[in-house]
Amino acid sequence: MPRSLPQDFLFGAATAAYQIEGAAFEDGRTSSIWDAFARIPGAVLGGDTGDVACDHYHRYREDVGVMRGLGLQAYRFSTSWSRVRPDGGAPNPAGLDFYRRLVDELLENGIVPWLTLYHWDMPQALEERGGWTSRDTVDRFVEYALTVHDALGDRVRDWTTLNEPWCSSFLSYTAGVHAPGRYSVEDGLLAAHHLLLAHGRTVQELRSRDADLSLGITLNLTVADAADPDDPADRDAARRIDGQFNRWFLDPVFRGEYPADIVRDIAAVDADAVAHWQAAIRPGDLDTIRTPLDALGVNYYHGELLSGHPQGDGTEGTPHDGVQERRAASPFPADGGVHWVERGLPRTGMDWEVQPEGLTRLLTRVASDYADGVPIYVTENGAAYDDVVVDGRVHDVERSAFVRDHVAAVADAIEQGADVRGYFAWSLLDNYEWSWGYGKRFGIVRVDYDTQERTVKDSGLEYARIIAARAV
């Protein structure tokens, strides 16, 4: 029997600037940390760069036409800091004009623009001055955010400060897997704090300009389960991952504090790093970080089953970055003794387990424990698979089921009382998938990278059916 979604529920799709725009050095845009990182030998599989990507910079009208054909109500995109304020310097009129044209095209087609200010593409010039480990970057980010608002604030209501600060701090500054590719517990801690401080400062500044804006942050969150809930070591493993992945960001944003148990865990591994991080937290910082939100974005791909014991057969699952075999350091500074457990669930092309019910539990937990009175949006959810083109079509049965099952999981969360207002499929287009280059395809629309031809996959058609019916 069909499961209905509320009439005001928002269906959309999401992308990120560096992953789709291309035009890497056109019209005044200069190098971002991803332009630099992608050129480090071995940093990205295949040596791929985002120089061309999906050429969305030149094809945005075509892409908005695809969105309209799918019936999308909203489009979540990010602006490129390196395009708007190249090298972190003065505003770039040509870059701002691109986003003006994009927003105008969306509005003319009845699609809500949902803007993310930071999806990981800091100007490389700022990284060379310390990047997110420098408090000065907070000021530079606020300048950038206000520049974007100057250009688009009269037409864009929904603003997200940061996408997945866990990735742009620990995965980027501690694990070295993402740009800028640093390997430091201290740098990861400093980056996380300065990212959150930039978020809070930006919310305050934008709200002071226009109280009618809807302002939020997007966090990538997980469900951390103990393999044996009666085993203290397994419970502790789940606590550590929940703390470092979820609570490290939820607690300061909603409660104005970092989780004390995780601070102790990290201090046991690197006391100097924690001491330097604590010294960087100034009076008033946490009050700024906990500035009230109008919306919370939740990105979910899968959960974790965790044990405090090595697995006897040597088989374990992988953490969220999906490239455990290439990591030189863990993104979790205090994950000693944590082991990921296989549970026989279907897996995506990223080798991530497919766990829709985890999304239901995550949304209800976040709604009850943190986001009381704050609407929640699933701002990313999707799957990579090895698509095959047959007679010009992509019959991606697994991705179609993934979308169906996860929209149903959102409906379950709403029925259980979670105030979930929307769902954005990741991703609208096949694109540059960070450390994987062009080797992983998440799109509900296929992109032929040689010809730039767009082809709606069966999963896109299924999503369009769900949107039209407002039921799954």
The tokens of 408 are what? 């149903």
Strand pairing of 376-380 and 339-340? unpaired
Angle among Cα 123, 183, 18 to the nearest 5 degrees reads 30
Which of 32, 366, 399, 376 shows the shortest CA–CA distance to 180?
32
Q: How far apart are CA 400 and CA 460, in angstroms?
A: 8
Pair of tokens at residue 95: 């870059």
Would you say how long the chain is, in residues? 472
**Inter-CA distances, 165 with 145, 149, 186, Å:** 16, 21, 15
Name residue 328's amino acid.
Answer: A
**Closest C-alpha among 469, 468, 472, 471 to residue 72:** 468
Whole-angstrom CA distances from 408 to 176, 214, 228 are 36, 26, 28
Q: Cα(342)–Cα(232) distance, rounded to whole angstroms?
A: 19
Distance CA(472)–CA(145), nearest Å, equals 37
Residues 385 and 394: beta-carbon distance below 8 Å: no
DSSP string covering 260-286, please? HHHHHHHHHH-HHHHHHHHHH--TTHH
Catalytic pick among 164, 186, 353, 433: 164
Torsion of CA 72, 410, 221, 121, to 10 degrees: 0
Catalytic residue status for 108: no
Is 357 designated active site?
A: no
User: How is residue 54 written in tokens?
Assistant: 């999906």
Q: Which of 105, 186, 304, 380 is catalytic?
A: 380
Written as six digits, the tokens of 446 are 């296929």
Phi, psi of 113 (to 5 degrees): -80, 125
Per DSSP, helices labelled H in 185-337 are: 185-209, 232-241, 248-255, 260-269, 271-280, 285-289
The angle that helices 248-255 and 185-209 make with each other, rounded to 10 degrees, is: 30
Residue owning tokens 């104005």:
256
- Do 233 and 309 contact (CB within 8 A), yes or no? yes
DSSP secondary structure string, 379-415?
Answer: EE--------EETTEE--HHHHHHHHHHHHHHHHHHH
- List active site positions: 164, 380
